[in-house]
Amino acid sequence: MTKMVLVGSPNVGKSVIFNYLTGQYVAVSNYPGTTVDISRGYSKINGKSYEIIDTPGMYSLIPLTEEERVSRMLLCQEQPDIVLNVIDAKNIRRMLHLTLQLIDMNFPVVLVVNLIDEAKKNGIFLRLECLSDILGIPVIATIATKGLGLEKIKEEVQEYSFIKPRFSLLYSPDIEQAIHFISEKINEDYGLSPRMAAFLLIQGDKRLCALASRKEHAFSKILAKVNELKSSYQNDMEYIMAVERQRAIDHICDSVLEERNLHSGGMGETLSRLTREPITGIPILCLVIFFGIYQFVGKFGAGFLVEYLDINFFLPYANPLIGYYVYQHIPWDWLQSLIMGKYGVFTLGFRYAFIIILPIVSTFFFMFAILEDSGYLPRLAMLMDCIFKRIGLNGRAVIPFALGLGCGTMAVMVRSKR
């Protein structure tokens, strides 16, 4: 049976494509040892059986979250025959980071460029044949929500035959020399290409470093080489290599993008730049936190809506109605007290859950959806990354920090992993 794995960032349409390929034959279960859900399904294409796995959203093979860690583990352990890398056409410059990493790992990648219609609305037109020629992998354009291009995925999958991509991302000479040195010292199989394993070790991937320290006899030499390379740069290696990878992506996009309205000085690019620059980005962040999180979620959701629902719905209508039926139809005092007493299931449990949890969660996720769909969150993470790294966190820790303004419990429970 051919094994196919879908990978990509959150909200790029993986689930729509997964549902189309699998139909109703889907099983959802936790990945072993975690609470992260993995969806598995089965499909037949022209009589050939496929197992299809939908992974949690990931931005990079350097995991920062539990979801990303699980996605990488799954890729390494499952050894898929086909990797469907789904990306958002509107944000191709950001999405290609993961694509290049997958190619570097020697995975059999088929690139699915989704949301083509939204990209065109934003003035972004892509020459996908050119992108396919540059990367040396199949590239398919889709509008998953409308079903356009999905049949092409099936056609490509059944005809697919893995050929090592022609594209190879080369870093600066000293980094390439270190990658070559470490690659030759690696003897164990981690489900990664030796080059990708060296790449991760240089960037200080904690899980791989822990495994290599136990398994590799030459780990001391590997560590010495990594430290030698780090000493020649002021910034950490993850940042250095991301910058060099971005240069390659920009070069690719210069050939692929027919119109680059994001760089034409339009309002969208101006706002994007303002949110990334510390001088303007930090004041904008303060405004977003104050008005979006504190005022909208904290004051409106946790304050006004909670009080409004209690005073205008539960106290005058819901409580008397439920109390009437309980006291009229239930003869046992202990059961009446259990349901409608001071600490009753309805008066305390259901009522508090409804009037407290629902308004806060609803307003928070509404605001969170606006920030995510507008593209502000990744820019915010980029802005705060350098600051948070000084205290042992990463840029994504800004989310639990913001949560703490409304609910300390939620902020504590949301752990930011480096």
Q: Give me the residues paired with residue 148 across strands.
A: 143
pLDDT digits (tens, 9 = 90+) for 186-196: 888 777 778 88
pLDDT digits (tens, 9 = 90+) for 212-225: 888 888 889 999 99
- Let me know if the fold of 2-159 is the same as that of 173-262: no
Contact 363, 300 (CB under 8 A): yes
Q: What is the DSSP string of 35-60?
A: S-EEEEEEEEETTEEEEEEEPPP-S-
> CATH topology for 173-262?
Helix Hairpins (1.10.287)
pLDDT score, position 376: 79
pLDDT digits (tens, 9 = 90+) for 38-87: 888 888 888 888 889 988 888 887 776 777 888 888 888 888 899 999 99
**Separation of alpha carbons 235 and 232, rounded Å:** 9
**Separation of alpha carbons 160 and 111, rounded Å:** 12
Q: DSSP state, 143?
A: B
Answer whether residue 263 shows pLDDT above 50: no
Identify the CATH number of the domain defined by range 2-159.
3.40.50.300
Average pLDDT over every residue of 295-316: 86
User: What is the percentage of the chain residues whose pLDDT exceeds 90?
Assistant: 9
Average pLDDT over every residue of 398-404: 66
Closest CA relative to residue 61, chosen from 177, 190, 225: 190
Question: Could you tell me the pLDDT band of residue 416, with boundaries at 50, 70 and 90?
Answer: very low
Answer whether residue 404 shows pLDDT above 80: no
Statement: the pTM of the whole predicted model exceeds 0.85: no
pLDDT score, position 418: 39
Q: Which helix (H) or strand (E) holds 242?
A: helix 237-256
Answer whether residue 136 shows pLDDT above 70: yes
Answer whether residue 396 shows pLDDT above 80: no
Answer whether residue 2 shows pLDDT above 70: yes
Sign of CA dihedral 297, 299, 302, 304: negative
pLDDT score, position 118: 85
* DSSP alpha helix (H) spans, 79-218: 92-104, 116-121, 128-135, 150-159, 173-185, 194-202, 206-215
Enumerate the domain spans of the chain: 2-159, 173-262, 274-413
Answer whether residue 327 shows pLDDT above 80: yes
The mean pLDDT value of the chain amounts to 81
pLDDT digits (tens, 9 = 90+) for 88-135: 998 888 889 899 888 888 888 999 999 998 888 878 888 999 999 999
pLDDT score, position 405: 57
Q: What angle do CA 222, 228, 229 make, to 5 degrees?
A: 95
**Separation of alpha carbons 171 and 164, rounded Å:** 19
Question: Could you tell me the pLDDT band of residue 417, with boundaries at 50, 70 and 90?
Answer: very low
Helix, strand, coil fractions of the chain, as percent rounded to 5: 60, 10, 25
Question: Could you tell me the pLDDT band of residue 245, with boundaries at 50, 70 and 90?
Answer: confident
Question: Could you tell me the pLDDT band of residue 266, with boundaries at 50, 70 and 90?
Answer: low
**For the chain, give me the number of helices (H) and strands (E)?**
21, 9
